[in-house]
Amino acid sequence: MMCTENKKPTLRGAIGPSRSPFLVGASWALATAVVLSGTTHGTDLQALRRHDCGACHGLTLQGGLGPPLTRETLASRDDAGLIDTILDDHPGTPMPAWAPLLSREQAAQMVRLLLGTETEEARETLALVIERASGSILVIDATIHTVLGRIKGLGDLSHASMEFSRDGRYAFVFGRNGGLTKLDLKTRQIVARVLQSGNSIGGALSRDGRFVAVANYTPGGVRVFETATLASVADIPAISRAGGAPSKVVGLVSAPGARFVFSLFEAGEIWLLDLADPLTPKIQRYQDAGPLPYDAFLTPDGRSYIAGLFGTEAMTLLDLERPGAGARRILDGYRKGESLRPVYKMPHLEGWTVAGTSVLFPAVGAPQVLVADTTAWTLTDRIPVQGQPVFVVSRPDGREAWVNFALPDNDTIQVIDVTTRRVVRTLKVGRGILHMAFAPQGDAVWISSHDDDTIILCDPVTHEKTGTIPALGPSGIFFATLKTDDRGRGP
């Protein structure tokens, strides 16, 4: 939509001598399409930026027929000049004058959107990318794939994760060095930060948005804070009734009600923490969860908490609707008869793919994706894959699952047809693939290529690469949706 030569715009409607009549017609066809669709009449500048600017300047606005429209390339221009460039004709380029379609205020708002300074209209979807080596988070407009900024000073993010407030405005970042950081995604600033332990491994927000809990390796246990201020609410040491040293806590999730569920690695226990009265937290202990629970998964209905066990060929299930029934073993012997390999990276159970009454999840130490029936929790199939899977991520429609792998296959992604339970595509899109996530709209798969310093975008249906976004050693990818009716409220 915009070309950024440092020249004063000429009279509207003028066609420069080097301008191709074909390109003029194509550009005005785009402009006419906007009028007919009512895009600008509804002042949907996000859609205009995505579809019409992207038509000439590239899907990610990194450049195409026209030059890049990134903050970096536009920063040297004054706002008034950029507004005039939008509204007036631009000789020697295929860009038309947009004055018949946009008011000056709309053009000014478009400039603010491109520069990442627009705050009056919510950016509906943001992608936040962990840049673990630099201790920063890259903030990207997930709709038009434009970098909005970078938030620095977050410490060790080597195994960082993130949770969001209900309105999407605030992000809570759990750093490996024990740091808990609250970010305002509207201003892209750190709101509050505490170093709450020496080594942490993720966390969760309560369903009512009041509390944020952090799982700790050192000194172990769980600490709970108010989301509004990060003031301490509760400190739960992970010490078994049998005694001994505190345990590392893993698999922390929030459950319906003001409850959190987590596992104790060394003690082999599952605890259910109830904060209905935060002054007197209640803990229900399940002491025979199995040896060395390493991660956990909560089914989408919020009913079943499933812990993976590193020390045995089984998993443990806790039914949160019937917690009095205790924890029970499921999928016993699911690795029997398999030739196990050394485990270079533990798989992540939060990446389970749920399809109807079946779930797909990564095997431990075997080149397989396993399939289980959720009614009886029995193993029903094994899908051979190239290496040891780390994440098994479902396409939003549940028809396919994308799988990445530990070393030495961490340059590979395989796509599984969930119906046929077969690998239908093997992709080599980058080096050091650490994470994958589907955009909320389902229009792209975002892939972090750590060794290439790149976020790779792929079409979820054709599996073809559609774009890239530079990043500093990217790892985890998270999406936040800002709700326009809730903006400005607390978490």
The whole-angstrom separation of Cα 154 and Cα 194 is 11
pLDDT band at 94 (very low <50, low <70, confident <90, very high): confident
pLDDT digits (tens, 9 = 90+) for 176-185: 999 999 999 9
Q: Which of 469, 447, 471, 470 is nearest to 458 (CA)?
A: 447
Question: What average pLDDT does the structure give for the chain?
Answer: 83
Question: Is 237 part of a structural domain of the chain?
Answer: no
Question: Is 445 part of a structural domain of the chain?
Answer: no
Residue 12: per-residue pLDDT = 30
pLDDT digits (tens, 9 = 90+) for 100-144: 778 887 887 888 888 775 444 444 689 999 999 899 999 999 988
CB atoms closer than 10 angstroms to residue 18: 8
Question: Is 42 part of a structural domain of the chain?
Answer: yes
Question: Is 174 part of a structural domain of the chain?
Answer: no
The whole-angstrom separation of Cα 11 and Cα 471 is 40
Residue 39 domain boundaries: 21-115
Question: Is 70 part of a structural domain of the chain?
Answer: yes
Task: Indicate whether 296 pLDDT > 50.
Answer: yes
pLDDT digits (tens, 9 = 90+) for 233-265: 999 999 998 888 899 999 999 998 899 999 999
CATH of the domain at 104: 1.10.760.10
Question: Is 457 part of a structural domain of the chain?
Answer: no
What's the structural domain count of the chain?
1
Question: Is 105 part of a structural domain of the chain?
Answer: yes
Residue 238: per-residue pLDDT = 95
Strand order in the sheet with 282-286: 249-255, 259-264, 269-274, 282-286
| Omega prior to 91 cis, within 30 of 0 | no
Question: Is 180 part of a structural domain of the chain?
Answer: no
The whole-angstrom separation of Cα 453 and Cα 146 is 16
Q: Contact, 327 vs 263, CB < 8 A? A: no
